[in-house]
Amino acid sequence: MRDDFEHSRNRWLNQDELRAKLTGWGTSPTGHAIRRKYRPRFKQRLADDRRRPRNKDIWRALKDAGVVGTEIATDQFIDRLFVMGITAAAGEGSGVDKDGIRNVRDQALWLGQHLGIKRSQVKLQHRVGAWAIEILNDQPFALDENDVLTLPLTPELDEFLNAFVRHSVENAAFIFPSAEPPEPWTQVRKGGLPPTNDWAKFSLISSYHPNSENAVRKAIADGKMQPILDAVNYLAQTAFRINKPVLAFMQRREEPRIQKLSAEADRLTRERELRKLSWSERQNLANLTSEITVWELDMMVANHLADGGRFSVPLQMDFNAVRNGFARCAVPRRYLCQRA
């Protein structure tokens, strides 16, 4: 079986890239991480700029567009500016001409439009967009030789993103079933995985929420949840094996449907190379890609486990477990499995 960390990392990066392709790099998890890191710097730049008389017409236009004015709206505008800036600087289809070439004029128009200026106000749109490029021309952004806003991968930004991705992967680990039984749960964040997966920050509660975790953490410390922990740990020691006849049947039944989905995904991918897909087409392509990927992963894991014999799976408690004490297991296509 492939290394759990590498698989979890690739899975997280694929989801990050999918979000970027659908709604822009500024809305992706990495985009939001960059925004949070550098937000104070640009909040101060905007505050300084607002006091300059030469840009009063810009702020008046933004106020007329309803994106600044109140303290809340202005605060939201900072995030909007940063998200649009990252998308314009890192995305491939933002701020480009008809030939797909990025240039400062089209980038300024794109930014002006996405910062709230109407399409009919082309001159104002360009002025606001050019102002935005000027404001954003600071770390982590930079202007290239054609004054186009870019987001260069400097050593500092690379180190920050690598640390952010690792932290994200550790908190969203995808753990394969293993021949090695998991460690018993002793607290919300202690136990539940085989010793070899000690890198993962795995939670006893499947749907992470600080209030739920804190309530369970206190209940465990007080000894009130020991019977439930004992039950979860007992269930986690149950070994499974793949039901091979059922696996073969599922593969025969689903193969025509998966082939049809793959053909449609291939068609949309080819179309994307020739023209800009509509929102519904991009969403459909993302859904098709996700469904095919999940099926292929399930079959890969099931076939591997079928050849390996007995295996164990990590168990978590459902978010309703605080009230009900239910547990769930992470076996792919659970109907393929039976107790060993």
The model's pLDDT over 2-12, given as tens digits with 9 standing for 90+, comes to 588 888 898 88
Residue 320 has pLDDT above 80, yes or no: no
- The per-residue pLDDT for 330 is 45
Q: How many CB atoms lie within 10 A of CB 181?
A: 16
Please check the confidence at residue 256 and state whether its pLDDT lies above 80. yes
Mean pLDDT of the chain: 86
Query: Mean pLDDT over residues 231-255, rounded?
Result: 90
CA dist., res. 87 & res. 24, Å (int):
5
Confidence (pTM): 0.75
Is 147 in a helix, a strand, or coil? coil
Taking only the tens place, the pLDDT of each residue in 155-202 is 999 999 999 999 999 888 888 888 888 999 999 989 988 888 888 888
pLDDT at 210: 78
Q: List the single range of 136-150, 158-172, 260-274, 317-331 with lowest mean pLDDT.
A: 317-331
Contacts 24+ apart (CB under 8 A), 45-50: 45/135, 45/138, 46/78, 46/81, 46/135, 49/135
Q: What is the pLDDT of residue 259?
A: 94
Percent of the chain residues past pLDDT 70, beyond the cut:
92
Region of poorest pLDDT, from 27-31, 242-246, 336-340: 336-340
DSSP state of 25: G
**Cβ-based neighbours of 180, under 8 Å, separated by 6 or more:** 194, 195, 196, 312
Q: What is the mean pLDDT of residues 204-225?
A: 83
**pLDDT above 60: residue 336:** no
Q: Tell me the per-residue pLDDT of 72-129, one tens digit each, with 9 for 90 and over.
A: 777 889 999 999 999 999 877 788 888 778 899 999 999 999 998 988 889 999 999 9
| pLDDT for res 335 | 47
Closest CA to 239 of 174, 308, 160, 186: 308
pLDDT of residue 329: 46
Closest CA to 212 of 127, 317, 138, 65: 317
